[in-house]
Chains A and B, each alone.
Chain A
């Protein structure tokens, strides 16, 4: 079966209402709408996306270049910031289509915001608060937030002295520990697979006769350095195992801020100042969220939380409505440098999964607005058009119909009569009585 191009429910009015409510909500925090390209260099998104994202990225080749339909906004927004050489703080919000190459549909609705150029807990808490309270703004009150921290796990892994690639491998695969089909053994198997030969069986040098062979863009030194690295990884397997066990232990710590933050500080060695500092900052974020009107009862602390995009470097969070994972975000200070800036660019952002968001919107978003039908005949069409124009000026939806008995009986309709008057129910109004008509409509089923 061919994928649907627009799998989401095509209720334009409902979507538009929700988007404008969110737009207004984020404007209250100073976030301006930014339009970004739909098609971009695929490499921009490949820089730090996780496997889950990349495997479903919508890519295509044009003029010997691999392009992609945007799968999200963050990389494009950061690219825009870096390319324009901006130095001031940017608060941007986005709404529009994002794309995934999946059998059940290509196009999704993405809504989100980025705060670029500002570091610290104030920025982190602003993004989290704005994303959560945005749900309130569109009438979805039963949300909760799960918060983790990429920096904390990295700090805890320092003691195992793993090489950068092995540490990266472990961090990218933390979710395997929660996966019934994978687990710790899978992580170890993959590690072993990557370092498949025993150190002894790998040669320590390449013979001269081999050195006339096809090199494939690598030098002898590069090959031998990697041979050494593989040998070291095999020797360090015990350290890797200890690191996996630590991450596994920490992934059990999930719960309220009061309980878990206390537990975390107790489990961190007192000389690990950096990790303890992260916990203190975390407490600060929770306190700031409270000040933003988000009680700690809405917050779950989950130190092993990782997200599909690998660019996150600090605090990460996910939004839930009941059990439904409806959005998330976090801090990604390194992405700017990877995209072309000379140094890290402090940045934090979030996105709602638009289609999931729409699935929990209150029914009222999808109810059609009442429309007043003004009925005329061949003779008084001009008068009718004037009345319609005047009533619309006061914010009421009006449609014009030619004389029809059915319409005239309807309570949602008004009829044009002699002397340019309009009859609504039992009352008749002339143009000078527009205020009385509006008062009357305000007490009726019509809403602006």
Chain B
């Protein structure tokens, strides 16, 4: 064991590895913060540069980009309400209202601390529990994932505030738009209307940018100048008291991220939303969530980043890539003649340990790079909104195009901007739409795959202990929401009568 560790340390401890890991985190953070530039895109663009590097160095570069990218996505989500990734959109729910209130630095700080802690816990879990979590993850089939997503969707009731019905309506709209494209089972067209661009469905990023950033820009021109102008980074950063108050949420979110991250195909968005949902449910001030609650930012970011190390569990332990990024990293392994899986733990254990050392160091890099990034961003924070919003608009246009090199995506962004503005004016919350749109495809795919397996029998959704546990959680969550609504109405009624 000690020999293996010594060998691993010898493989890792080179200037190249240490520098390149930091460079990866920097690249990832910058790219993640640009609307339209996604983390998978950044990892894919970096891949060719790893061909000439040593295996450990090349893979560490990709891992650095991956981890930096996940954090970077939260920067634009908080500052300009344009989430760079679907998971970061959960951060925007509270991060952007905080920025509007002049507490962006506090939100960015909390996002960074939560990201670093969650990343660290995720890495430790990867090192200690890879085997155990991989076997647990394999117990998740389509019915289990369906019930898990059902449970995640209960957060819709939470983020709808006192507009519960409108929130459900918005969620239906999100679920409906998520069905556009080719049918998964039969391969037939759904709402395509002969347009080739619609066959692969609506892309996440243009929809998210359109729904969140554009309505803010349009709405700005409807405000009086005095109320519209403020510095988005005004105010101080997150205090130790903030961190202490959110610590429990961060730890819980990290473990949610670790568990969901170990399941192939789940990704960061459900983890972020589930963590957010649990934070809101256990909070003493649940009504503050969605209106700029620092704990909400901590919950979303810890859930999102808790996934980062854990997605490597099925990759390293079983050779199964859980998402696009780990699929690219699997490609990097194979380019260097390595095949992740149980055999790799026997044949290249020193190399795996060297990667583990690098992964642990990436958490520290993330903290340093994040702190510097926040400082750098604060220098451009004094830009008045009359200049900032037009700049954001142009970033949105370039960003929406860059995702798929598609003019169609720019059109989608504009249309969703109009829809978002209408929703804003009709008092329809956008968050339920967003949650349903992101989780919708996963919900439907697993629903229908389960029914295909069970030959149309709905009993498949109650066939395993994991399913039953999630059903119990779902019923409890719904019951709790109804109870709190009744309680709230009971408190309001005497006031209105009086």
Chains A and B belong together in one complex: no
B residues touching A (Cβ–Cβ < 8 Å)? none
